[in-house]
């Protein structure tokens, strides 16, 4: 089995835009690959990124001036895979919440109490931050996302404030330092006694050759056929997903071939449509 360690932050637009490539790896390699997200703390302090001249005027002023610049960065990242981004009202940082560390800690809190729900939680947290533009550095928002994943807010809150969870997050940060990761996202591939590290966005055009090289051709992809059964299985695994991810999962040239299946699922109340600025997602009805 090939292990892929993914160094990221729930707020990262680059990781959000990489989701279609991850869906493709999942469907094409199946159980031959295991993904392990590692929290890397992208913004330890927003004041490290603001204009020093703005900061001299005041913290609130500096953040207010910085947020439009950050929104422009997010919006430009949509060109990577087409995952919808249209930032107009980003409220991620404030004087009270000047860091993305709450999002990182929230992931570790869920991982500690419900490991099987960590991946969907990370996805929904990224969706809430980027697609919905919600203030996910705030604890009530984190609890809301945890509840969407079937975790009681009280259980989440207890884990979030636990010293053990802080230790788990510190271990992720220490791993990042140990491997000299200085650019996010970053991927560490481990296969038998082989290890390779790549820093920056990887598309399907990079992932497949890397996997072939590090496994010496032993791990091979198999393109799945699009069918009602296969699509339902993908939605069961990813109860919130964009049509672009589904397109990549089945190696389709565009999303048009999906529409007859999705329309049938809408009519049967299997899924619902969630519109977001510049695009849409489907969510499994529970």
Q: What is the pLDDT of residues 29-45, one digit of tens each?
A: 999 999 999 999 999 99
Q: How confident is the model at residue 150 (pLDDT cuts 50, 70, 90)?
A: very high
201-222 pLDDT, tens digit per residue, is 999 999 999 999 999 999 999 9
Let me know whether 144 and 234 are in one domain. Answer: no
Same domain, 24 and 163: yes
Please give the residue range of the domain that contains residue 158: 2-179
Distance, in Å, from the CA atom of 84 to the CA atom of 244, rounded to the nearest integer, reads 9
Tell me, yes or no, whether 120 lies in a domain. Answer: yes
Q: What is the pLDDT of residues 164-173, one digit of tens each?
A: 999 999 999 9
Residues 234, 120, single domain; the answer is no
pTM: 0.96
Same domain, 175 and 242: no
Of 179, 201, 216, which one is at a domain's C-terminal end? 179
**174 and 242 share one domain:** no
Residue 39: inside a domain, yes or no?
yes
Contact 116, 106 (CB under 8 A): no
pLDDT tens, position by position, 69-106? 999 999 999 999 999 999 999 999 999 999 999 999 99
CA dihedral sign of residues 122, 120, 179, 83: negative
- Please check whether residue 223 lies inside any domain of the structure: no
- 63 and 93 Cβ atoms separated by less than 8 Å: yes
CATH number at residue 254: 1.10.10
Residues 126 and 18 in one domain: yes
Residue 209 lies in a domain: no
Provide the pLDDT for residue 286: 87
CA distance 183 to 198: 9
- How many percent of the chain have pLDDT more than 90? 100
Looking at the structure, tell me whether residues 62 and 166 fall in a common domain: yes
Whole-number average pLDDT of the chain? 97
**Are residues 46 and 139 part of one domain?**
yes
What's the rounded mean pLDDT across residues 94-122?
Answer: 98
Residue from 32, 1, 36, 34 nearest 221 by CA: 32
Domain final residue, candidates 144, 179, 214: 179
Element (H, E) at 214: helix 204-214
Same domain, 78 and 137: yes
Query: Do both 233 and 168 map to the same domain?
Result: no
CATH number of 56's domain: 3.40.30.10
Same domain, 250 and 164: no
19 within 8 A of 80, measured Cβ to Cβ? no
Percentage above 70 pLDDT, the chain: 100
The two structure tokens encoding residue 213: 């090289």
Task: Work out how many domains the chain is built from and give that number.
Answer: 2
Banded model confidence at residue 227, pLDDT cuts 50, 70, 90 = very high
Residue 240 lies in a domain: yes
Cα dihedral 5, 7, 12, 18 sign: negative
What per-residue string of b and e applies to 33-57 under the rule 16 or more CB within 10 Å gives b? Answer: beeebbbbbbbeebbeebeeebbee
Stretch 9-21: mean pLDDT, rounded? 98
Task: Please answer whether residues 32 and 212 qualify as being in contact, where contact means their C-beta atoms are separated by less than 8 angstroms.
Answer: no
Q: What is the pLDDT of residue 110?
A: 98
pLDDT, position 221: 97
């Amino acid at each position: 089995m090939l292990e892929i360690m993914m160094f990221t932050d729930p707020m990262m637009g680059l990781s959000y835009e990489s989701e279609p490539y991850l869906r493709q790896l999942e469907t094409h390699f199946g159980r031959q690959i295991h993904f392990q997200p590692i929290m890397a703390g992208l913004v330890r302090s927003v004041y490290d990124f603001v204009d020093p001249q703005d900061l001299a005027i005041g913290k609130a002023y500096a953040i207010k001036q910085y947020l439009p610049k950050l929104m422009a960065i997010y919006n430009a990242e949509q060109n990577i895979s087409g995952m919808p981004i249209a930032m107009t009202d980003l409220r991620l940082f404030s004087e009270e919440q000047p860091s993305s560390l709450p999002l990182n800690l929230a992931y570790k809190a869920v991982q500690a109490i419900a490991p099987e729900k960590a991946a969907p939680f990370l996805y929904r947290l990224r969706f809430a931050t980027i697609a919905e533009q919600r203030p996910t550095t705030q604890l009530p928002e984190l609890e809301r996302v945890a509840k969407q994943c079937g975790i009681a807010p009280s259980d989440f809150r207890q884990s979030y404030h636990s010293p053990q969870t802080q230790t788990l997050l510190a271990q992720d940060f220490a791993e990042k330092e140990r491997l000299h990761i200085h650019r996010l996202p970053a991927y560490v591939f481990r296969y038998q006694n082989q290890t390779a590290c790549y820093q920056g966005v990887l598309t399907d055009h990079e992932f497949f050759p890397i996997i072939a090289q590090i496994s010496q051709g032993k791990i091979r992809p198999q393109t799945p056929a699009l069918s009602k059964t296969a699509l339902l299985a993908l939605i069961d695994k990813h109860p919130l997903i964009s049509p672009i991810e589904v397109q990549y999962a089945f190696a389709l040239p565009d999303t048009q071939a999906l529409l007859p299946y999705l329309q049938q699922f809408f009519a049967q109340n299997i899924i619902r449509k969630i519109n977001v600025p510049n695009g849409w997602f489907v969510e499994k009805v529970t």
